[in-house]
Structure 1
Amino acid sequence: MGVPDADGQGPPDGLPGLPPEWGRVVVPDDASALADEARQVRRELRRDPRPAPRPGPVRIGLPALALLVSVLVTLAGLAAVTWPRSNRSGAPTVLPRTTATPLAVGPLPALDLVGGDDTPVPLRSLLPAMIILVDACTCADQVGTAAAAAPAGVTVVTVTEGRSAGPATVPGVRPLGDPAGGLRSYLHLVAHPGTAAALLVDRQGTLVRLVPELGPATDYRDDLVRLGG
C-alpha cells in the first residue's frame, strides 16, 4: 500500500530527507490506515498534560502607581480636615445636634427684633442675653428652666420667626419676633420640630454657646453664669 522511494527505502519524491535511524517509511495510499496510530497519539497526549503556566508577579505601571499615590494623599488630607480638634479659636461651643454647616464666628449682626406692640427692639439692647428660638416648639418647661437658671443682669427672651412675637408663656421671659428670620439665616440653623434652640450672647454681642436642642440647665448653666459676670 505504501509508496517507497526510488531505491525502495528512502522517502518518495517530494518529501524531505528523513533520519536514517527511522528505518523504512511507508506512506499509505489511504489516510484511514493511520486511524489506529492517531488514536494512540491522542491517548498519550491525554496522559501527559502540560502543566499550567504559573502566574508571574503583578506589575503596576507608572500611571496606576501615580493614581494610587494621589488617592492616598487625598484620603490623608480629608482625615486631617475632619479630625476633631480642641476649640482654641474662640468659636462658639456647640452642644448636641449640630447644624449641617459651620456656624458664624464673631459678633452677631445688629438685628432688630419686634416686640408685642410691633415696635422694633434692637438685639444689642438685650445683651447679655439667652435667646431661645421657639418657632419650632414653645417648649414652656425648658424655657422656664432657663429663666430660673439665668443670673441677674442676663435677659432671657423667646424669639418666633415672623412678625408675631407670640404670647408671654413664662414669667420674666420677653417674647419677641424675628420678621426676616435673621438669626436662623445668619447661623445656618435649621428648625427641628419639637425642639427649641438657644443662643448665649455676651455683652459684646459675641455668640459664646449654641444649644441646638434646649435641655437640662446643667448643659449650659456655667456659661449662663459667666454671661452675668
Structure 2
Amino acid sequence: MGKPDADGPGLPDLPPEWGRVVVPDDASALAAEAEQIRRELRAATPPRGRRPAARSPLALPLLVLLVAVLATVASLVTVTWPRAGRTTPEPAPAPATPPAGLAGRPLPALDLVDAGQAPVPLRGLLPAVIILVDGCPCPDDVATAAALAPTGVTVVTVAGKRPATAPPAPVGTVLRPLADPAGGLRAFLHLPPRPGAATALLVDRAGVLVTVVPEIRSAEDYRTELAGLAA
C-alpha cells in the first residue's frame, strides 16, 4: 500500500500547492501515467533529422499582391459584365431635311411605269401630290392624302421597281400607283429613302414644286399646300 510521502520522515518538504502526494509500493501502478507523459513528449518533440519548414520572407508580400490582383479583376468584371435588362438606347436618326432651293423649281420630265411596265409621263398627272413609298408602303398616309386631295388633284404613289398596292380611293379622287425603277425622282430630290417613312411632293398644274415633305408625320405637314393645288 502506498503511504503519504510528504508525511514520511527524512524526505524534503514539497511545495504545498502540490497537495498530498502518495507514493505507491509497486512502481507498476504508475505505468499508465508514465505512458501518457511519453506520448506528450513525443508529440511536442519534432522527429530527429527533420527541421521545421522555414517561412519565406516573400510569402507575406506575395499574398498581399495576390489579394490586390484578385480584387482588381473582380471590380473590372463587375463593371464590364452586361447586366440583365439594361440596354443602351440607340440614338434616334436626325430628321431628313430637303436640300435648299427645291421649292419653286420645275419638276423634271420623268417617265415612270405602271403595273404593266408601260411608261407614264409624270408631268401629265399634274397638279398632284406625289408620295414616295419606296422606304415604306405607309397605306395610312396614302389614304389620308387621298381623302384630303381636292377635286382635280391626282394622288400618285411612287415605289421602287414595281408599283405598290394602293388603298381604295374616295369617289372623285384619282389615285395612280407607279414605280420609278431608275430612281430618277430620288436623284432629283437628293433624298434617299428612309425605312418606315414616306416622302411627299406637292406640284402645281404648271409643274412647279410647291413643297417637299421629307418624312410624313401627319397631314398637317402638307394640308395647307395641298388645298392650294386646286387653285
Q: Give the structure-1-normalised TM-score.
A: 0.54
Partner in structure 1 of residue 136 of structure 2: 137
Computed over aligned residues only, the root mean square deviation of the Cα atoms, in angstroms, reads 1.6
| Structure 2 CA distance for aligned equivalents of residues 146 and 190 of structure 1 | 21
What letter is aligned with 1:166? A
The answer on whether the counterparts of 1:154 and 1:228 sit within 8 Å (CA) in structure 2 is yes
Partner in structure 1 of residue 149 of structure 2: 150
| Structure 1 CA distance for aligned equivalents of residues 224 and 100 of structure 2 | 24
Q: CA deviation at 1:106?
A: 1.3
Q: CA deviation at 1:140?
A: 0.7
Q: CA deviation at 1:133?
A: 0.2
1:135-166 CA distance string (max 9 Å, x none): 1001111111111011000000100122x112
The answer on whether the counterparts of 1:158 and 1:174 sit within 8 Å (CA) in structure 2 is yes
Partner in structure 2 of residue 168 of structure 1: 166
What letter is aligned with 1:215? R
1:61-103 CA distance string (max 9 Å, x none): xxxxxxxxxxxxxxxxxxxxxxxxxxxxxxxxxxx6304x445
The answer on whether the counterparts of 2:137 and 2:164 sit within 8 Å (CA) in structure 1 is no
Q: Give the structure-2-normalised TM-score.
A: 0.54
The answer on whether the counterparts of 1:132 and 1:196 sit within 8 Å (CA) in structure 2 is yes
Q: CA deviation at 1:170?
A: 3.8
Partner in structure 1 of residue 48 of structure 2: none
Matches within 5 A, 1:118-129: 118-129=117-128
Partner in structure 1 of residue 191 of structure 2: 189
Partner in structure 1 of residue 213 of structure 2: 211
| Structure 2 CA distance for aligned equivalents of residues 167 and 133 of structure 1 | 13
Q: CA deviation at 1:117?
A: 1.4
Runs (4+) of structure 1 moved beyond 6 Å? none
| Structure 2 CA distance for aligned equivalents of residues 194 and 159 of structure 1 | 15
What letter is aligned with 1:139? C
Q: Secondary structure of 2:141's partner?
A: helix
Between the aligned residues of both structures, percent identity stands at 58
| Structure 1 CA distance for aligned equivalents of residues 166 and 219 of structure 2 | 21
Q: Secondary structure of 1:175's partner?
A: strand
Q: Secondary structure of 1:116's partner?
A: coil
Work out the number of aligned pairs and report it: 132
Query: Who wins on radius of gyration, i.e. which is larger?
Result: 2
Q: CA deviation at 1:216?
A: 1.8
| Structure 1 CA distance for aligned equivalents of residues 192 and 101 of structure 2 | 12
What letter is aligned with 1:169? P
Partner in structure 2 of residue 222 of structure 1: 224
| Structure 2 CA distance for aligned equivalents of residues 168 and 219 of structure 1 | 21
| Structure 1 CA distance for aligned equivalents of residues 177 and 108 of structure 2 | 19
The answer on whether the counterparts of 1:160 and 1:166 sit within 8 Å (CA) in structure 2 is yes
Q: Secondary structure of 2:112's partner?
A: strand
Structure 1 stretches lacking a partner, 5+ long: 1-95
Structure 2 stretches lacking a partner, 5+ long: 1-94
